[in-house]
């Protein structure tokens, strides 16, 4: 073992252990690409370094960590499945005429917009044809709670049976390092959901509210750290009452 | 992994179940804080979920790949924080201070394996073990280690290599004997 033929043979160990500063690591990678001796050393010694990772005393991962990670993964999986092959393509902003059409109510986890002044504007009752069955959809204009960003921002909660979707328009992207999180308010409790979303470049989008609305009196949106939060860390920017 | 890379959340669940404790343990060992360890582990598993298609079986096991992600992110976070004091979590008694999960045969096997590797590490000459631990678990660069131990940088790298070579040969020997 070892490559006495190469003067950088000791550097391979330091590289594998992650102890090279970035610029030295980069330089070594350039060297490695053309050095068979160091490549062989890397292959042989990496087994030892890999074992180090499993050598620490076992500390059980907290159950809530698993719940949080799985919640995010499920939400993203649902988004992928809902969006299908178009999932990674940029979303075109819907034209005003199109915004009233049913297809925007489909449960896509994709939201956009700009924070702005807004007030609860009222309730519109509509109906949609779902699978040949007439289902009433209530469209509730949500309250935008952080004024001054955009006069055009708005959010609408559409309730069909016990499920709902929240659509926003002209909402800004969440602050750096944050993501929008949907909350269900039951009694005095704000319950987190796995509905995490950001905004597209057009500022429009729709997110499905997970779970049943039974007992839920309000839907809130806050800007939380990436991955979501089990409790709100900031004041809501959107509030929609389900009881109106 | 293939199913997970196609967006199968159930496949991710399976991988998480198998490797969550090892990932969290390593993150905790490096960061010394449960909060930081949770952030690192979450970050690593979400990276796994979102970039699983990049995994190449020819380059090692899924477990080692995940632990590699955890290690890189934990060290990055550590260096950003630049808090090398009062973050160390002592190995001894760490597991006992926390509630242990049901010890399945698999988990018991992994703990035994981890104990064996710690044993092999403990058998290294102390000067070699120390530079490896300072680099891998504490995130110090070879320059920092050299300053800390007041030895030349070349000596630090040489000890790292000798230590890893011995560790590798003892792992091989251990595999042959079992």
A58 secondary structure, DSSP code: P
pLDDT tens, position by position, for chain B (178 residues)? Answer: 777 877 788 899 999 999 999 999 999 988 888 888 998 999 889 888 888 777 777 767 888 888 888 998 888 887 776 544 444 444 443 443 333 343 345 445 555 566 677 778 888 999 999 999 899 988 888 999 999 899 999 999 999 999 999 988 887 666 544 4
B49 chain-A contacts, CB cut-off 8 A = 73, 76
Residue A206 has pLDDT above 60, yes or no: yes
Residues A83-131 have pLDDT tens digits of 655 544 444 444 433 333 333 333 333 333 333 223 333 333 333 333 3
Interface predicted TM-score (ipTM) of this complex, two decimals: 0.72
Q: What is the mean pLDDT of chain A?
A: 72
Query: Which strands form A189-197's sheet, in the order they lie side by side?
Result: A143-144, A238-241, A218-225, A178-186, A189-197
- Verify whether the Cβ–Cβ distance B9 to A44 is below 8 Å: no
- Verify whether the Cβ–Cβ distance A54 to B99 is below 8 Å: no
Which of A41, A51, A68 to mutate to test binding with chain B, by most B CBs within 10 Å of its CB?
A51
**How far, CA to CA in Å, does A48 sit from each of A25, B18, B48?**
19, 21, 23
Inter-chain contacts counted by CB atoms under 8 A, chains A and B:
172
B168 chain-A contacts, CB cut-off 8 A = 1, 44-45, 47-48
Tell me how close the Cα of B154 comes to any Cα of chain A, in angstroms.
8
Interacting residues of B157 by C-beta distance below 8 A, sequence separation 6+: A10, A11, A13, A14, B142
Which of A8, A66, A73 to mutate to test binding with chain B, by most B CBs within 10 Å of its CB?
A73
Residue among B67, B171, B128, B164 at smallest CA distance from A15:
B164
Interacting residues of A100 by C-beta distance below 8 A, sequence separation 6+: none
Q: What is the DSSP string of A137-172?
A: EEEEEPEE-STTS-TT-EEEEEEETTEEEEEEESBP
* pLDDT above 70 as % of chain A: 70
B120 chain-A contacts, CB cut-off 8 A = 51
Residues B9-60 have pLDDT tens digits of 889 999 999 999 999 999 998 888 888 899 899 988 988 888 877 777 776 7
Helix orientation angle between B9-31 and A63-83, rounded to the nearest 10 degrees: 140
Taking CA–CA distances from B71, the nearest residue in chain A reads A53
Q: Is A124 on the interface with B (CB under 8 A)?
A: no
Q: Which of residues 8-47 of A touch B (CB under 8 A)?
A: 9-14, 16-21, 44-47
Q: Is A49 on the interface with B (CB under 8 A)?
A: yes
Residues A58-96 have pLDDT tens digits of 889 999 999 989 988 888 888 777 665 554 444 444 443
Exposed / middle / buried, residue A3 (Cβ in 10 Å: 0-12, 13-18, 19+): buried
SS (H, E, C) B127-138: HHHHHHHHHHCC
pLDDT at B157 (0 to 100): 94
Find out whether A207 and A142 touch, Cβ atoms under 8 Å. no
Smallest Cβ distance to B64: which of A11, A50, A73? A50
Domains and their CATH numbers in chain B: 1-101 (1.10.1740.10), 105-178 (1.10.10.10)
Say how far apart CA A24 and CA A157 lie, in whole Å.
54
Tell me how close the Cα of A70 comes to any Cα of chain B, in angstroms.
7
A174 secondary structure, DSSP code: P
């Amino acid at each position: 073992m070892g490559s006495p033929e190469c003067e950088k043979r000791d550097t391979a160990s330091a590289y594998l252990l992650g102890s090279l500063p970035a610029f030295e690591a980069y330089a070594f990678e350039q060297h490695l690409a053309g050095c068979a001796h160091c490549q062989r050393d890397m292959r042989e010694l990496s087994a030892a370094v890999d074992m180090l990772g499993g050598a620490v005393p076992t500390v059980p991962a907290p159950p809530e960590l698993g719940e949080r990670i799985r919640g995010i993964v499920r939400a993203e999986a649902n988004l992928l499945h809902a969006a299908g092959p178009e999932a990674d393509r940029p979303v075109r902003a819907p034209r005003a005429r199109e915004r009233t059409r049913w297809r925007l109510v489909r449960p896509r986890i994709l939201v956009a917009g700009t924070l702005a002044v807004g007030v609860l504007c009222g309730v519109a009752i509509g109906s949609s044809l779902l699978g040949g069955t007439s289902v009433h959809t209530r469209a509730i204009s949500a309250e935008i709670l952080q004024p001054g960003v955009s006069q055009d921002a708005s959010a609408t909660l559409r309730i069909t049976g016990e499920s709902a979707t929240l659509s926003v328009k002209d909402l800004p992207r969440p602050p750096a390092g944050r993501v929008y999180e949907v909350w269900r308010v039951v009694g005095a409790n704000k319950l987190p959901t796995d509905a995490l979303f950001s905004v597209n470049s057009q500022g429009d989008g729709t997110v499905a509210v997970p779970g049943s609305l039974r007992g839920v009196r309000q839907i809130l949106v806050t800007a939380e750290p990436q991955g979501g939060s089990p409790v709100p860390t900031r004041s809501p920017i959107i509030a929609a009452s389900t009881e109106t | 992994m293939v199913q997970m890379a196609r967006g199968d959340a159930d496949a991710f669940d399976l991988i998480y179940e198998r490797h969550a404790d090892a990932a969290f343990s390593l993150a905790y060992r490096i960061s010394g804080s449960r909060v930081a360890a949770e952030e690192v582990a979450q970050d690593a598993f979400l990276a796994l979920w979102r970039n699983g298609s990049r995994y190449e079986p020819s380059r090692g096991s899924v477990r080692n790949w995940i632990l590699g992600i955890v290690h890189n992110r934990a060290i990055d976070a550590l260096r950003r924080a630049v808090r090398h004091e009062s973050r160390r979590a002592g190995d001894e008694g760490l597991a006992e201070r926390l509630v242990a999960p049901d010890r399945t045969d698999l988990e018991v096997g992994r703990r035994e394996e981890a104990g064996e590797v710690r044993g092999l590490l403990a058998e290294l000459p102390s000067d070699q073990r120390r530079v490896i631990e300072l680099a891998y678990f504490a995130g110090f660069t070879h320059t920092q280690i050299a300053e800390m131990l007041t030895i030349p940088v070349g000596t630090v790298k040489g000890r790292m290599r000798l230590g890893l070579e011995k560790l590798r040969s003892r792992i091989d020997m251990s595999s042959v004997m079992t």
